[in-house]
Amino acid sequence: MKKIPILLMGIGGVGRQLLRHIVSCRIIHYNQRLRLSVVGVCDSKSMVVAPDVYRSELDDEFLLQICEVKSSGSSLETLSDGGQCQIYSSKEMASKAIDIAASYRRMATGLTFIDCSASCNTIPLLRKVVELECCVVLANKQPLSSSLEDYDKLISHPRLIRHESTVGAGLPVISSINRMLSSGDAIQRIIGSLSGTLGYVMSEVEVGKPFSDVVNVAKRLGYTEPDPRDDLSGLDVARKALILARLLGHRISLDNIKVESLYPIEMGPDLMTVEEFLAKGLPLIDREIRRRIEKASSNGNVLRYVCLIDKSRCEVGIQELPKDSPLGRLKGSDNVLEIYSRCYSEQPLVIQGAGAGNDTTAAGVLADIIDMQDMFI
């Protein structure tokens, strides 16, 4: 039985779902002669670690207890398992995590760091564990969409890092692009809808609903961030576009990406509350969006909020696209990616499906972990 020791950072929706997946897949992995062994879990404030981090693990009951505690809004510190695990505070935890990684390295089995947080605070630790040749799996977009220096450092051992769930949740986007690149199938162009929220918004306004109504409904349905401007700014899509562009070899940063925001600067979070924006700001945008839709429609086209990456460009914003293309046909919150390359030159390779949700995102992380099994003894 091959053991993959795991330290999980981030126990929000995705992290908790990952722990549940790990527990519920025990038999599948047993049949693959694999044991996913969670030796530590941390949120931003504390870290719990198995009593003997090299010979024991956090057991399934305890992992599910962690999920419950975090779901209820409590902190990890409230966990009491009768002294069965060690708890470290935010001050100690980074150095303790590095200690554990270093010891695992000496034992030649390796430790895998999983980042399911949404924070850039994990970057310094990730940089150090990459140096220790630990495996790293990211759902967190921040580490690979920050400075180029961080990026280069994190991918310095390319086989030791996976990050499928940073783009399109569990959709096989990164793994498929990596396959194309390694087989010399040069990618000429990627165009994709990588925000379920903006995909939903653009396909709803297309059928005649006012932009402001659609955004308000999307917020009520829980499709948007608490402040919908976090979606409408396009910044989240830009981070995904940056990760794809860097994968294709672009030496760029977030600042180099042309990002179209769906609200004007004077409606920004510093100048308007969420409530004001929803009630008074948004309706002022309706007419312009309507005008653009009608213009596109008169050309037989539709509008989509997409990322567009080719040899020289990396842009994020509204594009007029043929009604009868995979992107043009997109309805609801699916993600879709069209990849043009030497092998897929006339018709693109298309990958489409749910690109959000804790279940799918966590499944992508788990697939990445399993995919790295050959690194372990």
Binding region for its own copies (CB under 8 A): 21, 24-25, 28-29, 32, 158-159, 164, 170-172, 175-176, 179-185, 326, 329, 332, 334, 342-344, 347-354, 357, 359-360, 363-364, 366-367, 370-371, 373-375
C-alpha closest to that of 246 among 107, 101, 143, 354: 143
- Measured CA to CA in angstroms, residue 361 lies from 22, 159, 231, 247 at distances of 13, 21, 18, 20
Using CA atoms, how far apart are residues 294 and 124, in angstroms rounded to an integer?
48
Structural contact between residues 256 and 242, judged by C-beta atoms closer than 8 angstroms: no
Take residue 88 and report the two structure tokens written for it: 């470290």
Whether 240 is catalytic: yes
User: How far apart are CB 373 and its own copies at their closest, in Å?
Assistant: 7
Running DSSP on this structure, what letter comes out for residue 280?
Answer: I
Which residue among 70, 141, 219, 240 is the active-site one?
240
What is the SS3 assignment for 311?
coil
Count of helices and strands (H, E) across the chain: 15, 13
User: How far apart are CB 199 and its own copies at their closest, in Å?
Assistant: 11
User: How far apart are CB 277 and its own copies at their closest, in Å?
Assistant: 30
- Measured CA to CA in angstroms, residue 58 lies from 8, 37, 49, 116, 307 at distances of 11, 8, 7, 18, 41
Nearer of residues 170 and 281 to its own copies, judged by Cβ: 170
C-alpha closest to that of 90 among 49, 43, 52: 43
User: How far apart are CB 191 and its own copies at their closest, in Å?
Assistant: 14
Catalytic residues, which ones?
A: 240
